[in-house]
Amino acid sequence: MNTQRLLNRSYGFHSNDVLKRATASRLIYALHSTSVTFSQSRSQDTQNERPSAHISGVNALTIDKFEGRYLLSGGADSSIAIWDLESPSTSLNRVPSYHPLSAVTKTSEEHKLGITQISFYPFDSLAFLTSSYDHTVKVYSSETLAPSASFDLDSVVYNIALSPIASHLLVACATQHPAVRLVDLRSGASTHSLAGHSGAILSTAWSPTREHVLASGATDGSVRFWDIRRSVGELGHLDFEDSIGVSRLTAPAYNRNSSQGKAHKGPVNGIVWTEDGRHLVTSGHDERIRVWNTETGANTLANFGPIVRNSGLAPMRPVLAPMDMLDLEKDVMFYPNEHEVLVYELFEGNLLRRLRRSDQKRVAHHAPEKGQRNIKDRITALAWRAHDVELYSAHADGSIVAWKPRTEEDAELEEEEEAEKEEEEEKEGSKKRKRGILEDIYQDLTKKKITFS
């Protein structure tokens, strides 16, 4: 297929963009977990246990969008680490391993409780922001990992969002308070709140095309849109029963007093926009993922099947593959589904793959009992690496997993490793059989014969 595409491009039948999308799509569909490890200890034995990036679990991940080189991770114990994805070291068993460029542990100056969200500054990767269960939002230097500013919001902060295009420096904060809190990084103060939800806010996301438009989801099951410039900021809300778009979100005559419409039949803890801003993806505790037309507010009725799982108040945000790497209208979504990553076609809802880490068998003895969920191996966050075809996942057991395309060389190496294992197993089996035969012969020779007279 690639040969035909190259030929079509050389004849001018197809543009370079067609070949690029086809190649990138093939790589995205070939993602698999790698043996790459992230560990703060340089002497950890990766044969017996999974390496630990954060001792108490990893709650949040983000990768800078400028170089796609630096990964930030936030721990359940409030620790923070920054990793250089282009400088791995090699361990004794030839497994590539990453060690943090810098890391901070829990101290009186840092967060006192676990980190809920971590995000690079949109226009400069030399700074990043964190939110925490300790009610604060902090601004850090990426070089020193020292906090330069702190905001106390007097309630648990579940999620923070910064606009990727806006000239303003407003941080939208999702907290236990039933209103979206806006923090201005310029003035260092909380500017105003967006009231309308009747429950705690769990997720916020800025529009990638309109700098003053914000979406938020709450425990009341609603998803609301806001224009932060207006005195009455709400533009409208979503209703999962509306598949036509009868309540146009941008219409000035929209009835903002109506509060019956719900996006989900449970708390909404995941919101993400498509790159063109034309659709919104939401996930909720009703174990449903929904795709919405943002121009009309219509539910596109994409059905992602019965295997979706979602619980807890922590953010559970899907990740969308870059649009320029995919064929038109073939958007791909990655969803963190407890101990696996579900890969879907965004608009059709078709399940493409179920990605599971290759070392799951190694910790089989930690498997939960029947009827219980595997909490220890739960995926807490996903992050896409810019300018590359790589996905990274954070896990509650403290590990970080890298998902990269499975090339032909990888397949050959895996086949060789499997063949070597089979040979070793056969040798061990033959040794056991020989040992058993010798033991039988020895027992026969040493047994005393008993005679009766």
- Considering its fold, how many domains does the chain have in total? 1
- The verdict on residue 24 lying in a domain is no
What's the pLDDT score for residue 256? 43
Contacting residues for 164 by C-beta, under 8 A, at least 6 apart: 65, 122, 206, 208
Question: pLDDT digit of tens for each residue in the chain (453 aa)?
Answer: 566 655 665 656 556 666 677 888 889 999 999 989 999 876 654 455 667 899 889 999 999 999 999 999 999 989 999 999 998 887 656 778 999 999 988 755 667 789 999 999 988 889 999 999 999 999 999 999 999 999 999 999 999 999 999 888 899 999 999 999 999 988 877 778 899 899 999 999 999 999 999 999 999 999 999 999 876 778 899 999 999 886 555 543 333 444 568 999 999 999 999 999 999 999 999 999 999 999 999 999 999 999 999 988 888 999 999 998 888 778 999 999 999 999 999 999 999 999 998 876 544 444 455 444 456 789 999 999 999 999 999 999 999 999 999 866 655 555 565 666 667 777 776 777 777 777 777 666 666 555 555
Contact indicator for 400, 103 with CB cutoff of 8 Å: no
- The verdict on residue 21 lying in a domain is no
What's the pLDDT score for residue 51? 78
- The verdict on residue 23 lying in a domain is no
Contacting residues for 109 by C-beta, under 8 A, at least 6 apart: 147
What's the pLDDT score for residue 408? 62
Which domain does 176 fall in, by range?
Answer: 32-447
- The verdict on residue 176 lying in a domain is yes
What's the pLDDT score for residue 107? 58
Contact indicator for 221, 266 with CB cutoff of 8 Å: yes
- The verdict on residue 264 lying in a domain is yes
- The verdict on residue 414 lying in a domain is yes
What's the pLDDT score for residue 445? 64
CA angle 153, 159, 163 (to 5 degrees): 100
- CATH number of the CATH domain containing 193: 2.130.10.10
